[in-house]
A and B are shown apart, each in its own frame.
Chain A
Amino acid sequence: DVELVESGGGVVQPGGSLRLSCAASGFNFDDYTMYWVRQPPGKGLEWVSLITWDGNTIDYADFVKGRVTISRDNSKNSLSLQMSGLRIEDSATFYCAKGGSYGSGYHMAVWGRGTTVTVSS
């Protein structure tokens, strides 16, 4: 079965940094675009970043651009999100998601359970 397990969340002060990780299993990781999506408490889904299978295409939402870096290690079936300059409004559950098959457009076929980031002084 496809499984995505996020880790690395926690409590951090404003201006601090965190590195989120996502361990993938049950599928050919290097065939798929991967995503990070966040959800602030009680609010809707917000796309954060994506990285294509080969890492050649990387995109970020405007609200994180310049503050986060997405990366992947296909040899280890892992996805990461390095976040710095964290703000209170970045507090959210962060989900790792697997993309769909080639030609089916950008969408999140399978989601992890999420990891919680709390930015607070």
Chain B
Amino acid sequence: SDELTQPPSVSVSPGQAARISCSGDSLSKQYTSWYQQKPGQAPLLVIYKDNERPSGIPERFSASTSGTKVTLTITGVQAEDEADYYCQSTDSSGTYVIFGGGSKLTVL
């Protein structure tokens, strides 16, 4: 089915690497994007076209794909990275947009 599955929560200590996974059958065929959302704010695009960073997004944000699983990696996590993260792609036909359920990143 065209669903995207993310872990509900990920915890990491400052300075460590955070890895947030996103799994779905369509991910091997369609581009994936990632969004960061802090409380009370609109989402912010941090990765698009699988592993492209928009202007202004720090280099510590990257993503990789292995088959039907995509992983967002934040190296050298900072307190300001604490947020909800959503993966997004399209269904296998490329017609409909789909979001993962979101992962809450906690910086310990």
Tell whether A pairs with B.
yes
Q: How many residues of A contact B (CB 8 A)?
A: 22
- Are B49 and A95 within 8 A (Cβ)? no
How far, in angstroms, from A7 to B95 measured CA to CA in the complex? 27
Of the four ranges (under 10, 10 to 19, 20 to 34, 35 or more), the interface on chain B belongs to 20 to 34
- Give per-residue flags for A46-62: 1 if the beta carbon is below 8 A from chain B beta carbons, else 0: 11001000000001010
Contacts of B43 in A (CB 8 A): 37, 45, 95, 108, 111
How far, in angstroms, from A24 to B89 measured CA to CA in the complex? 24
How far, in angstroms, from A112 to B43 measured CA to CA in the complex? 9
- How many contacts A-B (CB < 8 Å)? 68
How far, in angstroms, from A50 to B96 measured CA to CA in the complex? 9
How far, in angstroms, from A34 to B54 measured CA to CA in the complex? 18
- Are B96 and A61 within 8 A (Cβ)? yes
Q: Is B102 an interface residue (CB 8 A)?
A: yes
- Give per-residue flags for B43-56: 1 if the beta carbon is below 8 A from chain A beta carbons, else 0: 11100110010100
- Are B35 and A44 within 8 A (Cβ)? no
**Residue in chain A with minimal CB distance to B6:** A44
Residues of B within 8 A of A (CB): 30-31, 33, 35, 37, 42-45, 48-49, 52, 54, 84, 86, 88, 90, 94-102
